[in-house]
């Protein structure tokens, strides 16, 4: 069996897990013959379990291997083993690096600067719009965004990066042919051409709950820095940050209002020494990059005085029409018209019932 | 000897004349009742014999047969007791056949011969009037509704003994009275609500176009208090409407002693009600909650908790304004032209989009919203945000009073009625043809609508919702043409869209 097949096999036998697979590979006297060795003996010696053995035995059949490879080809999925050129160097240096990655689309290049943008699923409007706009600006500045594809911050970040014309990579806790959660099917399609969908799990793997914390090490491993947008005090985000710190990554956090549940975690990170960042430039300057000349500013100068007045009172926390009217002193009649115009210009959006936030 | 008495049965809100025939002949003594009777009618045999005996009549040991025609229609209710007794008396020769030939008789008998009130007098009498019957005997207890009957001779019977007196012309006829239409005094007034000018404006618009609306807000925000006050800004019912509603309440046996419903109904069924209670359809239909809310308000608090079948019935009747049923292959529907007010929380915990309090996941929020089907949401014209409604403890009034709003609403109603919509007489019931004919836009408003439709993903139905509400807003402003300000305001009430509950 050639070495590519061995690596692919070790990744396809999901029951092995990354740690056991690496161990087997290291201790094997003949790497190419790993699958043809005395598997029963290994089971008896307690090196592998019965489930692992049966999976490995299956893999040793050439017909089975070809079947899997054909399926991958049909779905346009590549497998990039650790030793191959093209496997991200940044990730390769980390502890417990996967033996290979399944990818639909492409992997980040070694000269590409990747920033992970992560945060909670049940985020607030504040988190979502910041994740979106900062990722968008980062993308415009040539930085690629790495994220999970979960609801909330993760998908907002990917949407922002795509909107900014940049590249984005989603690291999944399932096979790369499974779009989870389904609502994200629109970005799922775009990612294959404008970045990549990456996973250490073989195609067809279900999104099981214990996969997600494990895949977080890949998110941090692929990135130079980790930008935490919103996180409650205890969350999956903290796992990514922990892995990132072990891997020596820079940690950025979006400061939030004291007392906001969703900003507990990020504020705590800042207190512990993460860099506070609320603009793309805060992150970019860290890597000696500048923001490109802005063109979006012109959009706001199109606003008439009344629109500016209303726009200035709308922020990332939902605001009722009544509160806006009170603050601006406009009559409801005028306010409704201004709100519609601002919505048509795509600057604000309605959330809940008659509550407005920045788009 | 044979005799025949006119009576009637309700079939939905329709009336079926029932001929009560009694025959007394020689043979073994017996008393038989036929004519597809429900058990309460069959039991009338015991009540009638006891009442006759206690009023001093002796029933001879003969063969008595009572038939209720038409025999293919199932008869329920207790209104047949008195006419059966009268039919027997006539067959016995105690009453003259000619005297009872053209008089319709209704009433339940108690064993001592007292006549008890029955339900449905008003619609049954009005129905028989159309069939050409002019003289009626109704129970004393139904005298209130009896007074509402015009162009007929109506007598009240308090006891079985009164019937011979009435037939002999020895009792006074019931005086008919006019339907009184005064503005009812409601305890709740819109000015009890502190500030909340946006919400009050929303209520005014909803009332002015009879638009159904959904109130969304956190628990304890004051949704019920708000709904209770909508009635106080609706114009009083016309005489015709009072009669319509009173007929329905009469059929349901819910008419108060005065005999008239003069306040617009406000029905607030519990979320656990059955479909039967809400629609009233069944093998013996009685008006359900949606019909009892006819010309008034149906308030569904915690709307998402109602059974899907109930919500579906509401969806169907919102446009049709009629609930269909059949009894023995006869159609037996009830009118139900009501204004729907729904109330629900934005999510299970109730605090979305306040992410500091709301702990629901996106999926939970989505599932919660989906409890109300898209087609039903599509038929609800407006959505209002309700938050922190406070009723002043001191009794202090703030802002506009209900009376002022009611005047505005009334003016808007008059404008709408004059247009003569095909679908009904309010903006909410406009059909597509009505919209085309009566909704003229300024050029700016037209282009705003087109832009909104394209950019904000408004469906066809969503569009016409915005158009209908903007028509109402323009009507309130006294403007015959719809301008941008009207469209913009209507758009802000459009309610639930796809990115509505997005995270």
pLDDT in tens, B271-322: 999 999 999 988 788 999 999 999 999 999 999 999 999 999 999 999 889 9
- Whole-Å CA distances, A165 to A127, A140, A158, A289: 21, 6, 11, 17
Q: Using the beta-carbon criterion (under 8 Å), do A122 and B361 form an inter-chain contact? A: yes
Strand (E) positions, chain A?
Answer: 78-81, 100-105, 114-119, 144-147, 168-171, 195-199, 225-230, 250-253, 275-276, 319-320, 348-351, 355-358
Interface of B with A in 365-384 (CB under 8 A): 383-384
Say whether residue B481 is in contact with chain A using an 8 A CB cutoff. no
Note whether A353 contacts B197, CB cutoff 8 Å: no
Mean pLDDT throughout A244-269? 92
Contact B243, B419 (CB under 8 A): no
Q: Does B456 touch chain A (CB under 8 A)?
A: yes
Task: Tell me whether residues A121 and B362 touch, CB distance under 8 A.
Answer: yes
Mean of the per-residue pLDDT values of chain A: 89
Handedness of CA A203, A208, A210, A214 (dihedral sign): positive
The reported pLDDT for the residue numbered A108 is 94
Distance in Å, alpha carbon of B252 to nearest chain A alpha carbon: 38
**Beta carbons of A253 and A276 less than 8 angstroms apart:** yes
Rounded Cα gap, residues A34 and A12, in angstroms: 14
Pairing of strands A100-105, A78-81: antiparallel
What pLDDT is recorded for position B97?
Answer: 92
CB contacts of B342 in chain A (<8 Å) are: none
Written as six digits, the tokens of B221 are 């925000």
Comparing A71-75, A247-251, B399-403, B481-485, the range with the smallest average pLDDT is: B399-403
* Phi, psi values for residue A319, rounded to 5°: -125, 135
User: B42-56: per-residue pLDDT in tens?
Assistant: 999 999 999 999 999
pLDDT score recorded for residue A326:
86
Say yes or no for a CB contact (<8 Å) between B361 and A321. no
Nearest-neighbour CA in chain A from B384: distance (Å): 7
* Beta bridge partners of residue B68, listed in sequence order: B20
pLDDT for residue B496: 64
| Tens of pLDDT, residues B49-94 | 999 999 999 888 999 999 999 999 999 889 999 999 999 999 999 9
Q: How confident is the model at residue A132, as a pLDDT? A: 92
How many angstroms separate the CA atoms of B11 and B401, rounded?
Answer: 43
- Strands B266-267 and B297-301, sheet pairing: parallel
Beta carbons of A353 and B501 less than 8 Å apart = no
Q: Which residues, 6 or more positions from B89, have their beta carbon under 8 angstroms from its beta carbon?
A: B52, B57, B95, B163
| Whether the predicted pLDDT of B501 surpasses 50 | no
A-chain residues near B453 (CB < 8 A): none
* pLDDT bucket at A303, cuts 50 / 70 / 90: confident
Give the pTM.
0.80
Instruction: Give residues with Cβ within 8 angstroms of A127, minimum separation 6.
Output: A119, A120, A152, A153, A156, A229, A230, A254, A256, A262
Give the model's pLDDT for residue B360.
82
| Out of A111-115, B29-33, B453-457, least confident range | B453-457
pLDDT at B497: 56
Does A163 touch chain B if contact means CB atoms closer than 8 Å?
no
> Residue B502's pLDDT is what?
46
- Give the gap in angstroms from C-alpha A299 to the nearest C-alpha of chain B: 17
Q: Which of A221, A210, A228, A20 is nearest to A117 (CA)?
A: A228
CB contact under 8 A, A340 and B487: yes
Tokens of B335: 């009118």
User: Per the CB < 8 Å rule, is B387 touching A320?
Assistant: yes
Q: Average pLDDT, stretch B461-490? A: 92
Q: Are A90 and A80 in contact (CB under 8 A)?
A: no
A46 to chain B, any CB pair closer than 8 A? The answer is no
| Confidence band of B503 (pLDDT split at 50, 70, 90) | very low
Q: Is the pLDDT of residue B172 over 70?
A: yes
CB of A273 within 8 Å of any CB in chain B? no
Interface with B, mutate which of A352, A355, A357 (most B CBs under 10 A): A352
Rounded CA-CA distance B75/A147 in Å is 72
Give residue-wise pLDDT tens across range B329-371.
888 889 999 999 999 988 888 887 777 788 887 778 888 888 8
B385 or B31, greater pLDDT: B31
Q: Which two tokens stand for residue B25?
A: 């002949």
| Of B449 and B455, the one with more pLDDT | B449
- As a whole-number percent, the residues of chain B with pLDDT over 70 amount to 97
């Amino acid at each position: 069996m050639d070495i590519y097949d061995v690596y692919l096999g070790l990744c396809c036998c999901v029951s092995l897990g990354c740690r056991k697979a690496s161990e087997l590979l290291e201790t094997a006297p003949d790497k190419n013959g790993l699958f043809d060795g005395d598997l029963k003996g290994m089971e008896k010696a307690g090196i592998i379990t019965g489930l692992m053995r049966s999976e490995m035995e299956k893999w040793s059949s050439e017909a089975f291997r070809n079947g899997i490879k054909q399926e991958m080809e049909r779905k346009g999925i590549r497998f990039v083993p650790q030793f191959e050129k093209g496997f991200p160097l940044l990730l390769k240096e980390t502890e417990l690096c996967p033996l290979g990655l399944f990818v639909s689309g492409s992997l980040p290049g070694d000269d590409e600067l990747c920033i992970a943008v992560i945060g909670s699923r049940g985020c607030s409007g504040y988190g979502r719009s910041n994740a979106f706009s900062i990722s968008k600006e980062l993308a415009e500045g040539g930085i690629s965004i790495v994220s999970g594809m979960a609801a909330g911050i993760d998908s907002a970040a990917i949407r922002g990066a795509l909107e900014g014309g940049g590249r984005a990579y989603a690291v999944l806790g399932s096979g790369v042919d499974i779009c989870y959660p389904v609502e994200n099917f629109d970005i799922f399609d775009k990612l294959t051409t404008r970045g990549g969908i990456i996973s250490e799990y073989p195609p067809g793997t279900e999104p099981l709950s214990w996969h997600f914390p494990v895949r977080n090490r890949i998110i941090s491993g692929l990135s130079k820095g980790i930008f935490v947008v919103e996180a409650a005090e205890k969350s999956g985000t903290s796992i990514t940050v922990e892995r990132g710190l072990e891997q020596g990554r820079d940690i950025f956090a979006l400061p939030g209002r004291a007392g906001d549940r969703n900003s507990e975690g990020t504020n705590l990170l800042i207190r512990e020494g993460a860099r506070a960042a609320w603009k793309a430039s805060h992150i970019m300057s860290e890597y000696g990059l500048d923001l490109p000349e802005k063109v979006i500013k012109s959009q706001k100068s199109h606003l008439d005085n009344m629109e500016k007045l209303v726009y200035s009172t709308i922020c990332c926390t939902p605001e009722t029409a009544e509160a806006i009217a009170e603050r601006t002193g406009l009559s409801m009649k005028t306010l409704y018209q201004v709100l519609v115009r601002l919505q048509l210009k795509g600057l604000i959006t309605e959330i809940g019932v008659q509550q407005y936030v920045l788009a | 000897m044979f005799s025949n008495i006119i009576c009637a049965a309700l079939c939905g809100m329709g009336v079926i004349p029932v001929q009560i025939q009694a025959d007394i002949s020689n043979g073994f003594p017996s008393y038989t009742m036929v004519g597809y009777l429900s058990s309460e009618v069959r039991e009338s045999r015991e009540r009638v014999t006891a009442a006759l005996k206690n009023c001093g009549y002796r029933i001879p040991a003969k063969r008595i047969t009572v038939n209720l025609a038409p025999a293919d229609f199932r008869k329920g209710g207790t209104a047949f007791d008195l006419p059966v007794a009268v039919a027997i008396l006539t067959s016995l020769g105690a009453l003259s056949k000619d005297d009872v030939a053209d008089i319709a008789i209704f009433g339940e008998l108690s064993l001592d011969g007292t006549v008890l009130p029955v339900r449905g007098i008003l619609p049954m009498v009005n129905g028989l009037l159309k069939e050409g019957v002019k003289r009626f005997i109704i129970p004393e207890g139904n005298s209130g509704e009896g007074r509402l009957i015009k162009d007929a001779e109506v007598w009240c019977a308090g006891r079985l003994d009164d019937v011979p007196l009435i037939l002999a012309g020895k009792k006074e006829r019931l005086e008919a009275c006019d339907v009184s239409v005064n503005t009812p005094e409601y305890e709740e007034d819109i000015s009890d609500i502190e500030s909340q000018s946006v919400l009050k404006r929303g209520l005014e618009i909803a009332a002015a176009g009879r638009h159904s609306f959904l109130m969304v807000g956190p628990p304890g925000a004051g949704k019920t208090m708000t709904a209770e006050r909508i009635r106080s800004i609706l114009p009083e019912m016309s005489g015709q409407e009072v009669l319509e509603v009173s007929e329905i309440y009469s059929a349901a046996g819910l008419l108060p002693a005065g005999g008239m419903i003069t306040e617009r109904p406000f029905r607030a069924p519990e979320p656990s009600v059955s479909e039967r209670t809400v629609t009233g359809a069944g093998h013996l239909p009685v008006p359900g909650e949606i019909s009892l809310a006819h010309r008034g308000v149906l308030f569904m608090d915690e709307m998402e908790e109602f059974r899907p079948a109930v919500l579906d019935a509401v969806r169907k009747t919102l446009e049709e304004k009629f609930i269909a049923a059949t009894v023995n292959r006869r159609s037996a529907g009830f009118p139900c032209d009501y204004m729907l007010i729904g109330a629900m929380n934005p999510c299970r915990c109730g605090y979305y989009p306040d992410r500091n309090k709301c702990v629901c996941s996106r999926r939970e929020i989505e599932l919660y919203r989906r409890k109300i089907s898209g087609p039903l949401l599509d038929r609800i014209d407006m959505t209002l945000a309700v938050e922190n409604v406070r009723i002043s403890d001191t009794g202090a009034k703030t802002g506009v009073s209900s009376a002022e709003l009611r005047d505005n609403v009334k003016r808007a109603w008059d404008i709408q009625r004059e247009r003569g919509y095909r679908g009904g007489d309010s903006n909410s019931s406009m059909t597509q043809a009505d919209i085309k004919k009566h909704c003229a836009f300024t050029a700016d408003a037209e282009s705003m609508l087109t832009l909104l439709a394209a950019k904000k993903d408004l469906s066809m139905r969503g569009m016409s919702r915005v158009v209908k509400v903007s028509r109402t807003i323009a009507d309130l402003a006294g403007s015959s043409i719809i301008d941008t300000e009207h469209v913009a305001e209507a758009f802000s009430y459009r309610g639930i869209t796809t990115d509505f509950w997005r995270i």
